[in-house]
Structure 1
């Protein structure tokens, strides 16, 4: 196709951005320009042949086909793929790439023997690989580049690692990421290598797959009819695509889709296909012994799912599952939950009862794998909900069984291994979520998990040796592509990531996916960081029209402004991308930004609409219209997603998300309630409505928000502090009906600055915002300064009392720190004055985590044995200044981590104000065994709010300079914000904006 000027322009804009593509977090051994020593993969239109031996693993041969296809995707040249048994079969005049598995491939063993290549760095290890150039590997072959794996997946990962560096994203099909083109490819002679991964089994769980994933797969992988028994669309065609994606991301383990599906029954090719690819299969926490329960049980067994009354049938059912899985690589889930993913029915005796069940499961595995040491058969016991309670209550399993600790379904891990649990041969792991169905609300529509949060929780798992099995509940997989890959990348090699570089994952990811330079990639990192931060503050499914304050700290307006800026940044980037890159950017970044912004603004505007209607303001109607427009736009964005690329991703945004009233998804999207006022009727109090910032009330006339009685209330008032971070106040002058009017604004003092002293209101311009500020604080006396502002329109007059509190002259010129303003001092925790380490630990910033800026936490994490008594641990200091004697309540905003260090190690921190008594806060209660702690649940629980607050109070604090110290007691405490309330703190969702720092 000929290039038009329109198509050529974005290509030229991005031509300078072509970079070396690296595996995320990995060193590179791929170059695109020749040197004297580089090994040619493709040069001058010729490709090195790829040699294997027929006795290698089938999965290695299959991946070699992908490897060859990847080289063609990049260069347009397809390498020869050759099975050889002797050097006579090597293509003439070639420097080949030789691929194989140590101890499995006779060709590789021959090369190792001929070259005396040192393979001790990978020999006998789990999923390790090395690549390097060797001399005289075969008779007549002067030089070759070898890709050698310690086992079959080591070889597979070695090839996919190079493919990614060549320019083929793991998401080339699943997110339509274009391949970066190069005419030539070369490898450095020393190659790349990787030892055993941090986590042995790194996997994903497809879950909650209706309506989205099932509807999409039914359209794309079937003729409209699913499997014979369950009408499931998840056949070998679907799983083949998924297995390849997983392996390209260095994952190796899957819990298959379960609701309305049965992996081994839906398509008899599914189970052998997984083994052929090299993927380890498992089943979820409620599906023991490799059977898709309840679907298979309900269809093929008899009686209830009750081991007490139907033991023989259930036991036989499990034996069949074990026998069916015996030929393949599997991790067996053991234990049992009740029907419908609920607790067992034998209340009061479940520990002994479940102990007997697992003894039976041990016996059946012993019988099925006759002659095999049962401790070598991977088994996992998922300590999910009440099962965790059984463990805490004393139930134990054999040492070789992996204990899989869950999060609370919201990204907060319940528990990590204690010291005595870390030596178990079966180890431990984590079952984590970026998608969930359940209380307090489902969240499965859009990305809402922060990578810094995932890193923080899973780095603790590494430190606590919970590295045998990691499983991520990815729901429908899309739109959690980026977070899924980070989870697997961290499990592949956690040592490459730390708090200071974790943001570079997204930067490198953006460079790889969109072929952009590092500066542009940093912009994408900021967009992604803000997107996930805004959605993680409160999952979209939990938002309502009053989540963000409509009157205090301009919180709602600030959120809208932030969404608008994010949309502008994403749109600008989308518009300058080449057309072939836009679909991937739309899926991975732009659609989540557009849809999330639209969603968030819709709810805020609904709140503003209802507020204005209660204030008898005609502008309520326009806001209601805007809500309706945004509601329809939500569907337009969904349609845009479904129709791009000729409908490739049709149904992938089917998930309903508007109108939740309890935990479960609404059956259709429902617009939030809006209110209209009669536009032809005049308000009883007259044509003009005056609504001052900081009040729900409106004047003149009665309004229940004007005062406690709701009638005969005094005139409105507002105040401004010299050190308030918001240095003006606004008053909305609005229409109370259809009658147009002119208004004037006047004040009885000259030091008051008014943005406009007059204006006109009509049906085309229903309100105007007037800003009031102090022109020059130095002209005011110390202390309170009163002014009277008069709003006049026709026969309507409203007088507003304005107080300006001037404290500038009382602040010492030598003071450096945060200054009281508006009755409080608000500090982002990372903005410390001093940071003191103890025993090598100090408070470390975690950039990007949390609701506003970041969070600080003791680092390095160490094991859970590292803790301190109050006042002895590492500490940070904040300098602050208050102007009046007061009682100070320090409100600490903390990430909602759970007491995961063990039953005797509750999370805690300590604080000290000046030399006053040190106070400790054990802010996180323990829940009942297997349950969440008090305050967790509900639409306004701490997990919904994504924050925990802890209050400490010091009485009789004098005016002047003070120092607040924050001490470590326990690790894993993450402090985001500190607010010192001196009597003026107002309600808001995010807390007051940060105070002035002088």
Structure 2
């Protein structure tokens, strides 16, 4: 299937040469002079910067940042002149300004006949190039022209980033890359109108972290007069600059115990001066903070328009009047108090009246202005989407803001009949959430590839008027936030072939990483976010990952251990000035995640081992305690970094959830202990085979159905078990040590070790891997007996030679030598099933130019596949069995109950019925020549609601997967499973074929062997 060759990825990375590490835009900066370059700084002299005094204040302010950025990079401060003449210029200058607003720029255009048609009248566009004789007495200048105020601002920040200043230079302490000389190509840079008109972030769920931090850093510790909020203009000015450097233009301000327009009278002024468009969230109509401002000024009246419309109407009038002088998108509609649905009743008719009244307020507030030209947004959040689907209408110039399910799965996009609305459509997305089935707001837990997959659908389905993402406290979602805004700024740069290169480029920019080191960092973060997206850290528990099947928990820990060690190695290799940024952006989230996962899995092991009467349960109890305390140490390291610059930013609790809401403090998982000196009545040795919760000798509820009088354990092995062996643990049952041996009655049994000593205090157990020499075994079933023998020290013994209590535990090994015909090529049954990663197809057939295509890095285990282009064939669907198909050949030896049937589970992303109620998402699946079966996997729900399967801590979003199960006839032999596209946007990750032996696990069995 289509996949960008690695050489092409390297070519993309190589575009940004000469240490220019700007992301996602054409590069025009260089650090070597040539005949085709213009000098920004050379020979210790900086080109002066000219700007017109009649330009936008925000452009003039950004010009100061631009001059300072040049100084940060080179140590040379350029002269910044606010003038319309050239009298003071002694060297070729940089001239900056806005077309039609800057007298200086308009004069240059007139003098040179510069072609500005590409940006004239365009939204947030710019061009920059060297021009000859721009002003009298100036032979040449580098001219940066914006089509509007933000076009000018973006142009300057674009150059700053190319010169070496990361947008995160303050918010993540990314050091500026130093250069003695800086040049730009004479042909310069340009950018047209952004893909998405309004691109912003939303501070939400900002207590305790962001609010506590801001209270310490920006407030007098008492906060605003009315609300106590610390979010004043000093805080927001830092935010506004960041948004603009990230090429965003829109903000929903913090709302918990805060009111943007009330907390500081300068907040609105500075937002407009910087050039950031203000809005308010889905529950805050007409720019009024709700419920905060209503609780202050509502005089105790109910937030219910059906009974209190006069007071609420006037409340909204005041909001419109307050925002009138400033660039604003007005939220219309209404939700109930506390971000809840409105009271039961005639909600559609009431909401239509509410919107009509709000439009009247805008008409009255802006006399002489057509209300349809005033930016307005109606957010179809939760039940409000249901009102729309049930027939509620709003004027077509109001932007319909579609939302995700709060977990990154967009509920609905515009259908063709909605794509011609003059107000267009947008998306409200989440990286952070408070609500069911559980809060997630501690640490990064969203896959960048998932964001791309969902937001690229928004582009294709024309939901491009407004994008807003809930970033919680902003930190630690820095990289994800930048990608969201960058993709909205120019979606044409990123596609399924190269989206994974974004992180490489980001790592090069932030840490001056080499291409190879950047690729390593990209791999670290891909695996980190994959783990945290598989199951949010707040949803982890002691049994989330199987402790006994497929070595799942230990494999998860091993992968996290590897990325943690890699992050450590890179951190230690960096210079001291780069380490703080790497700590925040990579090291801490990786280390904290690994520590948390260890703690939960070790707690599960402790509980399991205690039930198995294994003395090492005490060791794991100690480890859980240590890891739990280290979690706070990591938090403290973050808070004391850089003399406490980010104190409180990791205050968020994340351990010990009892329901959806955060715990008030972290609580360690429960652990169990064995009494230190109590003997085990079954003897000194515990024998525990793989894939069982039981332990021998003695009685155990898991050893057999009765729980007593159980037979000795049995393990099975075939040539196609992915790991190629089984393990058997030999463990201490108490404080007494012993020696042990293992032997078999057949020569074809091999062991990783055949004996050793168990010391409960230092070496409490051994893991013995048992394999089969298949060359010695005939086809079919063979058995062998493995004997584990223990010789224990006498209570009075002082040497290992004084021994008593010979203990023997036999284990039966069943070796089932299965043979595949030499002519077969594909996946082979092993361990009772066939597990297939969807990217490893046998065949892939296109229809009408649509092909099942790899989404690199998407999903829970490997990459995923989806039909591409998703809007191919005009976005049409296919009847069952006629669409693009993808095939997987497999060979099975068994069927369920040997009755000729298998169960196929297709693991698909929890994508929703986003193309409308009459186009539920689905695919078709079949085996061999059987009639394919259509599977519409996302259940119907009342409009605006979620089906029951979505919710709970074991639902679709908690597990981040939907398992689609279907029975098929497949007698032993070679077969093909085939998946057809029905609807666009379905994402397939894995296919698991159960032939009777698939065991329970979170991620599913490891991929089967291919021959």
Distance of 1:445 and 1:411 partners within structure 2: 16
Out of 496, 500, 504, which is 1:499 matched to? 496
Distance of 1:424 and 1:861 partners within structure 2: 22
- Give the aligned partner of residue 995 of structure 2: 982
Distance of 1:142 and 1:328 partners within structure 2: 40
Per-residue CA deviations over 1:500-533 (Å, capped at 9, x if unaligned) read 1001110100000001111111111000100100
Out of 354, 357, 363, which is 2:351 matched to? 354
Aligned pairs for 1:585-600 within 5 A: 585-600=582-597
SS in 1 for 2:757: strand
- Give the aligned partner of residue 870 of structure 2: 861
SS in 1 for 2:949: coil
Q: Is the 8 A contact 1:60 1:100 kept in 2?
A: yes
Aligned pairs for 1:296-315 within 5 A: 296-302=293-299, 303-315=301-313
Out of 788, 812, 828, which is 1:801 matched to? 812
Shift in Å at residue 223 of structure 1? 2.3
Aligned pairs for 1:510-909 within 5 A: 510-793=507-790, 794-807=805-818, 810-862=819-871, 865-884=875-894, 886-909=900-923
- Give the aligned partner of residue 10 of structure 1: none
Distance of 2:169 and 2:183 partners within structure 1: 22
SS in 2 for 1:951: strand
Pairwise CA RMSD of aligned residues?
1.1
Distance of 1:314 and 1:910 partners within structure 2: 52
- Give the aligned partner of residue 949 of structure 2: 935
Shift in Å at residue 896 of structure 1? 0.5
SS in 2 for 1:888: strand
- Give the aligned partner of residue 262 of structure 1: 259
Q: Is the 8 A contact 2:86 2:137 kept in 1?
A: yes
Distance of 2:512 and 2:298 partners within structure 1: 53
Distance of 1:87 and 1:616 partners within structure 2: 87
Whether 1:950 and 2:950 are equivalent positions in the alignment is no
Q: Is the 8 A contact 2:728 2:767 kept in 1?
A: yes
- Give the aligned partner of residue 443 of structure 1: 440
Shift in Å at residue 71 of structure 1? 0.2
Shift in Å at residue 778 of structure 1? 1.6
Distance of 2:566 and 2:746 partners within structure 1: 43
Shift in Å at residue 926 of structure 1? 2.1
Q: Is the 8 A contact 1:759 1:768 kept in 2?
A: no
Out of 900, 913, 928, which is 1:914 matched to? 928
Aligned pairs for 1:448-467 within 5 A: 448-467=445-464
SS in 2 for 1:630: helix
Distance of 1:869 and 1:19 partners within structure 2: 53
Q: Is the 8 A contact 1:304 1:310 kept in 2?
A: yes
Distance of 2:121 and 2:877 partners within structure 1: 38
SS in 2 for 1:470: strand
Per-residue CA deviations over 1:852-892 (Å, capped at 9, x if unaligned) read 00110000111773211111111111111112463121110
- Give the aligned partner of residue 328 of structure 1: 326
SS in 2 for 1:965: strand
SS in 2 for 1:87: coil
Q: Is the 8 A contact 1:732 1:767 kept in 2?
A: no
Q: Is the 8 A contact 1:754 1:770 kept in 2?
A: no
Whether 1:961 and 2:967 are equivalent positions in the alignment is no
SS in 1 for 2:553: helix
Shift in Å at residue 908 of structure 1? 0.7
- Give the aligned partner of residue 53 of structure 1: 52
Distance of 1:222 and 1:307 partners within structure 2: 36
Shift in Å at residue 108 of structure 1? 0.5
Shift in Å at residue 222 of structure 1? 1.5
Out of 983, 996, 1006, which is 1:970 matched to? 983
Aligned pairs for 1:405-444 within 5 A: 405-444=402-441
SS in 1 for 2:570: helix
Whether 1:82 and 2:81 are equivalent positions in the alignment is yes
Per-residue CA deviations over 1:890-926 (Å, capped at 9, x if unaligned) read 1101111111011101111111211122112111112
Q: Is the 8 A contact 2:445 2:533 kept in 1?
A: yes
Q: Is the 8 A contact 2:728 2:770 kept in 1?
A: no
Shift in Å at residue 20 of structure 1? 2.4
Q: Is the 8 A contact 1:887 1:954 kept in 2?
A: yes
SS in 2 for 1:509: helix
SS in 2 for 1:600: helix
Shift in Å at residue 19 of structure 1? 4.3
Distance of 2:78 and 2:941 partners within structure 1: 60
- Give the aligned partner of residue 6 of structure 1: none
Distance of 1:307 and 1:896 partners within structure 2: 36
- Give the aligned partner of residue 795 of structure 2: none
Distance of 1:774 and 1:688 partners within structure 2: 22
Per-residue CA deviations over 1:241-274 (Å, capped at 9, x if unaligned) read 0000000000000000001011011111100000
- Give the aligned partner of residue 202 of structure 1: 199
Shift in Å at residue 775 of structure 1? 4.3
Shift in Å at residue 768 of structure 1? 3.0
- Give the aligned partner of residue 70 of structure 1: 69
Shift in Å at residue 708 of structure 1? 1.4
Gaps of 5+ in 1: 1-16
Shift in Å at residue 404 of structure 1? 0.2
Distance of 1:529 and 1:820 partners within structure 2: 30
Q: Which moves more between the two structures, 863-872 or 846-855?
A: 863-872
Distance of 2:1004 and 2:257 partners within structure 1: 44
Q: Is the 8 A contact 1:19 1:516 kept in 2?
A: no
Q: Is the 8 A contact 2:832 2:894 kept in 1?
A: no
Distance of 1:326 and 1:775 partners within structure 2: 79
Per-residue CA deviations over 1:1-52 (Å, capped at 9, x if unaligned) read xxxxxxxxxxxxxxxx994224311110000000012000001000111101
Structure 2 length-normalised TM: 0.96
- Give the aligned partner of residue 32 of structure 1: 31
Whether 1:344 and 2:338 are equivalent positions in the alignment is no
Gaps of 5+ in 2: 1-15, 791-804
Q: Is the 8 A contact 2:725 2:772 kept in 1?
A: no
- Give the aligned partner of residue 3 of structure 1: none
- Give the aligned partner of residue 118 of structure 1: 115
Q: Is the 8 A contact 1:338 1:344 kept in 2?
A: yes
Shift in Å at residue 86 of structure 1? 2.5
Per-residue CA deviations over 1:128-156 (Å, capped at 9, x if unaligned) read 00001111110111001111011000000
Out of 229, 234, 243, which is 1:237 matched to? 234
Distance of 1:625 and 1:770 partners within structure 2: 21
- Give the aligned partner of residue 23 of structure 1: 22
Per-residue CA deviations over 1:474-525 (Å, capped at 9, x if unaligned) read 0000000000000000000001110110011101000000011111111110
- Give the aligned partner of residue 166 of structure 1: 163
Distance of 1:135 and 1:504 partners within structure 2: 38
SS in 1 for 2:89: coil
Distance of 2:974 and 2:635 partners within structure 1: 55
Q: Which moves more between the two structures, 791-800 or 318-327?
A: 791-800
Q: Which moves more between the two structures, 757-766 or 577-586?
A: 757-766
Q: Is the 8 A contact 2:894 2:996 kept in 1?
A: no
Structure 1 length-normalised TM: 0.97
